[in-house]
Structure 1
Amino acid sequence: MAHPFFLTVAYAGGAFHGWQIQTSLRSGQGDVWKALRTFDPEAPMPQGTGRTDAGVHARAQGVLIQTARDWEPYRLLAALNAHLPEDIRVMQAQPAPEGFFPRQHAVAKRYVYRLGLGPAEDPLMAAFRWHVHQAAPLDLGAMAEAALPLLGPHDFSSFRCAECVAKTPIRTVHAIRLVPSEGGVDLVFEGSSFLMHQVRIMTGTLVEVGKGKRRPGNMAALLEARDRAQAGPTAPPEGLCLEKVWYEARWAIGEPSPWGERE
């Protein structure tokens, strides 16, 4: 009899080639599976909530595992962490209800993109922020204005990388906030789900607005164009972190989504 557990996994993504397991490259999924099999050799592959890109971090990757025996949650957490490298950790463990699958039952996610805006890059934050080098400060007000047309359900083809295999480019963005931080600003994106590189492309485009290279009033036309070539650059991966995931309330995994269950 298999025993399902839900894990909240955090990792500094700089040394990972994404969450999804790779044949010969390091991944979050691969590291968790390797650690699990040290004491449960027949354990199936862990299932994650989101496929973070190479170099992207996570504070709340949701992971479902199956173990051959029942565990006290903290002992399972400790056993996994004893076999994991220091840049990836299980932060929480709890029994999972039968039938729960993190990817299928996630209803909203929060990503945070961290920008460094000081006169010089902070070496202690360099692995976790994109430092924007420029003489004049970013126009944060213009960036906030430009973000408004991105809210709600839209065709985000202009913010979708060529390798994205999603069946539809329609996504719903619930909120975009600019939150000042020490030496920079955090761009907080919350939505039902996101296309491949969508958050990074939206960030690169908003930074162009902040630099005065793009007018904030043009964002609606950019959405309508459905043309990736008209959007800004893809921001580098090190500034992005998967911060939070909300799941369907019926599974009692964390608090319910503030935007409801389904669109």
Structure 2
Amino acid sequence: MFENRTVLAPDESRERAVLRPLEPSDATGATDGGRPRRCRAMSEAVRDADADSVVRGEDCTIDDDATVGYGEFDEPTRIGDGATIRAGSIVYGDVTIGDEFATGHDVLVREGTEIGDDVLVGTKTVIDGRTTIGSHVSLQTNVYVPTQTTIGSNVFVGPGAVLTNDEYPIRTDDGLEGPTIEDGASIGANATLLPGVTIGENAFVAAGAVVTDDVPADSLAVGTPATIQELPEPLEGPNDLA
């Protein structure tokens, strides 16, 4: 369905989720020994998904009210080892996620998304599909990531940041083009990135900035519209998210 995609192939360390009827204790949200249920009980978390729609690694924790493998797609949802997916979160089919993935509550990850290792997605953040995210990335609460966006590795995106992909919504037939955030960059709280801009490697976008043009590597974007300044020494990257 999507071109130039890298799909994580299942191997012997990954098993397909097995669905089983809910036990009476499931309705009460009971846990085994006071601990959240592990991926071996994934049937309690995977709703609207069949046994062929999810391939997962080991030592995952998926809350009862999370949904993994939503929708009908040619490719399954693939999740690596050590994932934590909290209640209210929905991960569509045709999503590939690496190891040590973690969400807050009410996160949405749509189809065609590829996510690397050690990625945090904060509460109520939306990843709207057809997006690539590298490893060691922190997306804080209420971040919006549109389709056709590329986020590199070792990237921080602060709470309330909005990335956009349509320069003139509804009014033109122009194609969608999300931002590109290169390795090591930081995006401050409530910043807005306009369609197609590139945030260079180790660059820093200040809180509340509205970025209308590319931000060069190792520089600071401040204001509305954002202007480019020299990056102060204390803010020099890269980020330490690994």
What TM-score comes out, normalization by structure 2 length? 0.24
Q: Which structure would you say has the larger RCO, counting Cα contacts within 8 Å and 6 or more residues apart?
A: 1
What TM-score comes out, normalization by structure 1 length? 0.23
